């Protein structure tokens, strides 16, 4: 067998195989010092910034409404809704005023003396609308803060996985409501260099005495979701 026939036989089946030619991109795309990737990022950011200025209203009349009309319609909507929202908030404040007045009176009049050494406790029922609880507690917090006689700590079930976390959350929220976060951090280390535990109730006691606060009100936002054992231990410690 001749060498030529042997080589051809070894390449049998490859004469119709496809092949690819790689051509590297020209370097002229990067002559201005800005890469394609950077240009894409800049283009995306500029698109987002321009998109944020677009009205959320879509054009009417099958898309024939002008941009100026869409913008004007959106502006009128915002003005009208601001008036309606102000009216709604006024009604809600008026409805909550009586409840808020009763809660504030309960906090002012109750004490461990009148309750024979027990912690005065009250339950606020707002029905199925749990969103109204947040606004009510916020108004109560501002009112107690303005009076200077009490501070409000709102506790969620997620903050009470165990008794230590519950105490740390109460102490931190109480101190920051009366002072600020820096005072809370400073209170963890005394002037003598003694490091106090973040769940030590003496931290909150010292802050209460410094600010002349008589009562610390603890509101359990979703009391039905609290661990009963943690809640029982917490009440025992606070008593």
Q: Do residue 155 and residue 81 come from a single domain?
A: no
Q: Which is more confident, 149 or 173?
A: 173
How many domains is the chain built from? 2
Q: Does residue 226 fall inside a structural domain?
A: yes
Distance, CA of 40 to CA of 24 (rounded, Å): 20
Q: Do residue 143 and residue 203 come from a single domain?
A: yes
Q: Do residue 130 and residue 227 come from a single domain?
A: yes
Tens of pLDDT, residue by residue over 109-155, are: 887 777 777 778 777 766 556 666 777 888 888 888 887 788 888 88
Out of 78, 109, 140, pick the residue that ends a domain: 109
Distance, CA of 32 to CA of 39 (rounded, Å): 11
Cα 40-58-54 angle, rounded to 5 deg: 40
Distance, CA of 224 to CA of 222 (rounded, Å): 6
| Mean pLDDT score across all residues of the chain | 76
Distance, CA of 105 to CA of 41 (rounded, Å): 59
Residues β-bridged to residue 220? 155
Q: Which helix (H) or strand (E) holds 85?
A: helix 67-109
Q: Does residue 197 fall inside a structural domain?
A: yes
Provide the residue range defining the domain that includes 203: 124-238
Distance, CA of 64 to CA of 66 (rounded, Å): 6
Distance, CA of 211 to CA of 133 (rounded, Å): 27
Q: Which of 68-72, 118-122, 177-181, 201-205 has the highest mean pLDDT?
A: 68-72
Q: Do residue 187 and residue 212 come from a single domain?
A: yes
Q: How far is CA 56 from the centre of its chain?
A: 25
Q: Which is more confident, 139 or 183?
A: 139
């Amino acid at each position: 067998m001749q060498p030529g026939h042997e080589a051809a036989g070894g390449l049998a089946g490859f004469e119709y195989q496809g092949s690819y030619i790689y051509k590297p991109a020209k370097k002229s795309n990067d002559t201005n010092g800005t890469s394609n990737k950077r240009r894409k990022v800049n283009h995306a950011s500029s698109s987002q910034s321009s998109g944020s200025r677009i009205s959320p209203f879509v054009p009417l009349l099958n898309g024939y409404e002008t941009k100026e009309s869409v913008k004007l319609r959106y502006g009128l909507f915002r003005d009208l809704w601001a008036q309606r929202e102000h009216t709604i908030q006024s009604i809600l404040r008026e409805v909550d005023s009586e409840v808020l007045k009763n809660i504030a009176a309960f906090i002012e009049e109750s004490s461990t003396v009148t309750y024979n050494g027990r912690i005065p406790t009250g339950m606020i029922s707002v029905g199925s609308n749990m969103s109204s609880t947040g606004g009510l507690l916020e108004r109560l917090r501002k009112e107690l803060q303005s009076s200077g006689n009490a501070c409000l700590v709102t506790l969620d079930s997620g903050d009470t996985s165990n008794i230590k976390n519950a105490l740390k959350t109460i102490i931190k929220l109480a101190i920051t409501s009366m002072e600020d976060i820096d005072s809370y951090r400073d209170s963890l280390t005394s002037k003598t260099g003694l490091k106090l535990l973040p769940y030590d109730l003496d931290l909150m006691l010292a802050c209460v005495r410094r600010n002349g606060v008589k009562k610390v009100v603890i509101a359990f936002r979703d009391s039905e979701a609290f661990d009963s054992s943690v809640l029982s231990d917490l009440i025992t410690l606070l008593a």
